[in-house]
Amino acid sequence: MIDPVQLANDIAGNVALLAFPAVLWALLYVLAWEHGSFATSIGFGRRTFWLLLPGALLATLVLLPVAPVANDWLAISFAGALFPILVATLTFERFSPPGTRSAVAYLALLIVESAVLLALVVFVAAPRIQTEAVIAVAVGVPVVAGAVALVGHRALLGRAVFVLGLTSGVLLFTFLIAVAIPGTGIEESFPAYLLPPVGAGAIAAIVAEWVFPGMEGFALPVAYAAGTFGVLVGADVLRQPPLYVAGTPAGLYAIGGAGVLDLVYLSGLLALAAAYLTHLALGRGFSPVGAPIPESVPTPVGRLGRAFRAGAEGRIEEALMDSASAGREAAAQAHLLLALPEPPADRPWQGLPVPGWVVSDQANLEAIARSGSTDGREGFRGFLTARWLVLLGRELGMRRFGSVGARTVAFLLDLLIVTAPAAALWVALIELTPGSIVDLAGNIPFNTAIYGYAAVAFLYFVLAETFAGRTLGKAALRIAVRDRRMERPHLSAALLRNVSKLPTLTVVGIGVALALLFLLRSGAGGNLPLVGGLPIPVGFLDFVVALGFVLGGIALLGAVGVLGVLLTSERQRFGDLVAGTWVIRTTRPVEELPTPPTAAPGGARSG
């Protein structure tokens, strides 16, 4: 007999699970764009939005193998777990400086607590005693750590303990409501799974005025960290052991395996949303909090766009100021790209290979901006002058950017570097694993190697660019990745610029592995006669088709990236645009500097 209450609850749960990502993404968008300075100050600016939304969607099929357990494999999903964990960890540098030490203190305490809890779950068989022991440890560790912080007057440890306390609360309630189902995974019932993260978010916002006096906005990243790590440990760590049952078919279990629908991913955002709404309900503002954030280097083209909008809206003074700034910033960017000495503040074009009238035009533009003119004609002439100066600055620096050919060859070299050892592993698994092609297609180690390829290859790009500023392929082609200050990209920037490579890496991983499987272990057997009577093995034909799929996918996705490089003013594909990075040549031959024009274009002069 159908239980109408249970049926209604199941329908509501499914609808909520499908609706939550869209609603939470909308809130994250509002936070990052409507309260941009505030969001950046707490670690949830536009970069975080790009990583948690399109980044997570592109990483849906990417799993990083962790370890074999019994006859199963444990992995971690980039979309459902790794990206949220990285975001939660990186926000520490904002709400609990010094960030590295705070993060280490919090994570060390959480690891100790989790290790003790996992040992209890594994070695204590009686359910009642196990539950009581988990409650005692989850409550006891934050209390003891808090007492140590109070006695030692350690404010640094105090904030870490506060986050640990919230995390332990989420962890405990999640553990109590989560259920492990062998062969399926870990499940939590609706609406019970909402209570831990939403409760943590509300509590964090309410008590923030005592923990973060004058900086209550830090309740939002605290709530996100507590929701993410609490569910990660309470469900995916402590409820994992019952899944590994001897004698059951081998499986691939992934932490955060449901991607953007996984509760590890959603719980952090639910806690963030609860903290945000509570913060709003308490009437708190959205001024930036914490240590001052270094101003981002302006984009000359972006500044020029602001000047145009201001002029179109009748704000002539503001338009002239933005036009003058666009000219200065174009000159500064050209100096930076060409590695020339910084010019005097009042003569930004000095030292660049430009004719004298360029210096005069900038000076005239500055004078008009300072005059406070409200004449629309002056505003338009100023915009035209600034537009010409920005185009000139772009032309001066253009040859420093890596060419499409160099970037393409570098990527293909890197693709070969990361694919060759993976292909060798796939071949070894195919040759050493008994069974038919169908058996191999469902083999857990083989599938783990396939899904793990994209994860390892992605980490190769990210880590190489973070610590060296270039991959091996880029080094061979003498190009490198730099941010707008000509420094190696930060980890978050390297993550963002390489997320767009994940579809290509996924296509290569799945396609090449299957092509090798068809070639080495054809399930059809026999030959296929072609025109001319030449017999072609079916397995070889399948191999060619699969390989053609891979090459077509690389070409199609690569064409999208090449199109972005060709159409943008600073030779940036989508990943570079959102990360704020350039791909530059590491050499700057003086003889290749562009020769400037000897006369200004008609109508561009402001004087």
Confidence of residue 279 (pLDDT cuts 50, 70, 90): very high
Q: Which of 22-31, 368-377, 383-392 has the lowest mean pLDDT?
A: 368-377
Chain centroid offset of residue 198 CA:
24
pLDDT of 67: 87
528 three-class SS: strand
Chain centroid offset of residue 214 CA:
30
Look at residue 17 and tell me whether its pLDDT is greater than 80. no
DSSP 348-375: TTTTSS--HHHHHHHHHHHHHHHHT---
pLDDT of 604: 42
Look at residue 387 and tell me whether its pLDDT is greater than 50. yes
pLDDT of 607: 40
Look at residue 274 and tell me whether its pLDDT is greater than 70. yes
More confident residue, 376 or 249: 376
pLDDT of 97: 61
How many degrees, rounded to 5, is the angle at CA 449 between CA 574 and CA 121? 105
Handedness of CA 545, 546, 552, 555 (dihedral sign): negative
Residue 263, CA distances (Å) to 133, 240, 298, 371, 598 in order: 25, 15, 38, 58, 63
Chain centroid offset of residue 474 CA:
22
More confident residue, 160 or 321: 321
Look at residue 589 and tell me whether its pLDDT is greater than 90. no
| DSSP secondary structure code for residue 45 in this structure | S
More confident residue, 178 or 295: 178
Q: How many CB atoms lie within 10 A of CB 9?
A: 14
pLDDT of 191: 87
pLDDT of 282: 94
Tokens standing for residue 42: 């707490």
pLDDT of 159: 78
Confidence of residue 10 (pLDDT cuts 50, 70, 90): low
Confidence of residue 252 (pLDDT cuts 50, 70, 90): confident
Q: Which of 250, 213, 219 is nearest to 72 (CA)?
A: 250
Q: How many CB atoms lie within 10 A of CB 461?
A: 25
pLDDT in tens, 447-469: 999 999 999 999 999 999 999 99
| DSSP secondary structure code for residue 595 in this structure | P
pLDDT in tens, 24-49: 999 999 999 999 899 999 999 999 99
Look at residue 245 and tell me whether its pLDDT is greater than 80. no
pLDDT in tens, 468-507: 999 999 999 999 999 988 999 999 899 999 999 999 999 9
Q: Which of 254, 147, 136, 266 is nearest to 197 (CA)?
A: 266
Count each helix (H run) and each strand (E run) in the chain, helices first: 24, 9
Mean pLDDT to the nearest integer, 540-560: 87
More confident residue, 126 or 542: 126
Look at residue 230 and tell me whether its pLDDT is greater than 90. yes
Mean pLDDT to the nearest integer, 298-327: 90
pLDDT of 292: 75
Look at residue 207 and tell me whether its pLDDT is greater than 90. yes
* Burial (Cβ within 10 Å: 0-12, 13-18, ≥19) of residue 400: buried
Tokens standing for residue 466: 């973070």
pLDDT of 247: 63
The set of residues, in sequence order, having a beta carbon less than 8 Å from that of 389 and lying 6+ positions away, is 326, 327, 330, 331, 358, 361, 362, 365
Mean pLDDT to the nearest integer, 397-406: 92
Pairing, β 535-537 against β 527-529: antiparallel
Pairing, β 527-529 against β 479-483: unpaired
Separation of alpha carbons 154 and 145, rounded Å? 11
Tokens standing for residue 357: 């009238």
pLDDT in tens, 89-123: 888 777 776 556 777 788 888 999 999 999 999 88
Q: Which of 372-381, 402-411, 438-447, 511-520 has the highest mean pLDDT?
A: 402-411
Tokens standing for residue 471: 């991959």
Separation of alpha carbons 412 and 8, rounded Å? 53
Look at residue 237 and tell me whether its pLDDT is greater than 70. yes
* Cis status, amide bond into 355, omega within 30 of 0: no
Where b means 16+ CB within 10 Å and e means fewer, 134-173 reads beebbeebbeebbeebeeeeeeebbbbbbbbbbbbbbbbb
pLDDT of 198: 96
pLDDT in tens, 524-536: 444 555 444 555 5
Look at residue 266 and tell me whether its pLDDT is greater than 60. yes
Handedness of CA 531, 533, 538, 540 (dihedral sign): negative
Q: List phi, psi (to 5°) of 78.
A: -65, -45
Where b means 16+ CB within 10 Å and e means fewer, 542-571 reads bbeebbebbeebbeebbeebbebbeeeebb
